[in-house]
Structure 1
Amino acid sequence: MADGHFMMAGGNVFRMRGPREIRSQCGAICWRREADEVQVLLVTSRDTGRWVIPKGGQIDGLDDPGSAAQEAWEEAGVRGTVLETPLGHYTYRKGLRSGSDVDCDVAVFALKVQEIRDRFPEEGQRDRRWFTPAAAALRVCEPDLSALLASFSPPADTNPDSLPLRPY
């Protein structure tokens, strides 16, 4: 039917929905080495308290890796060097205050943590905790993020002269 509806067998009429909006976001797998063990940092979401990586929309004036690094600062209080090439992507559905939701596609960047602060913009709004990548993979809800965490290993060489790393 041309009016945005179609009829199924049995006479049931369903409304056709257009393509869903997909928002682009940038996130960071913040990592460190502690006693020869790689650890990644997760934070809780402000709305549901579930474990996530720092992430958010692209910030005006910053590219994707810069936006991921800024989100890591705002949400987790960490600064470091960010790999300019994404590790991968994952998608999730974000609930909005209006009651509707939107699909988000998150480009994920590795950020080697070099500084951890106790005071940061979203301090008191989130918890943060270090996990092994395997343990972090079990804590998050999004399957593609879980897979990225489970397979995470730091860049083989974190010398800023040999990799496209940028300090933040």
Structure 2
Amino acid sequence: MLHTIKTRQLIKSDLSSIWSFMSDPGNLARITPAYLGFKILSEDTGRGMHAGQIIEYYVRPLLGIKLHWVTEITHVEQGKLFVDEQRFGPYSFWHHKHFLEETQEGVIMTDLVHYKLPLGPLGKLANTLFVKRQLDGIFRYRYQQVEQWFTGPITN
């Protein structure tokens, strides 16, 4: 069974600035809670996002255990959307769509994540007990960091 997370955020800034920030994989660590020990290993993150781009990193989502995670950027529509999909990592399925929509009030950023955990019934139980809660917390943290980045000083 796939699980879904959907978030929306109005960012009071221009589309170009938001796209530039969100499409730079180097900014992932800035919007990820420090307790996850997020570290990008890829070297081509500064050349702009493109379909086929592989992003490799370490993350410590559970009990400080370091996990190797590899995602591929599979779709990019400049200034509108991009999609990252897990190739190797903690999920048996991870598909994350990032949408940006310019409005008169600012830019609406929508994230839509579909994911599935391994281990069948144990994965489903883990999702109920802590994974969903942790993912919700990560997206709340990201929301706050993006808000601060575009409206004032960012804190970690």
Whether these two folds match at TM > 0.5 is no
TM-score, normalised with respect to structure 2: 0.23
TM-score, normalised with respect to structure 1: 0.22
Question: Which of structures 1 and 2 has the bigger CA Rg?
Answer: 1
The structure with the largest helix share of the pair is 2
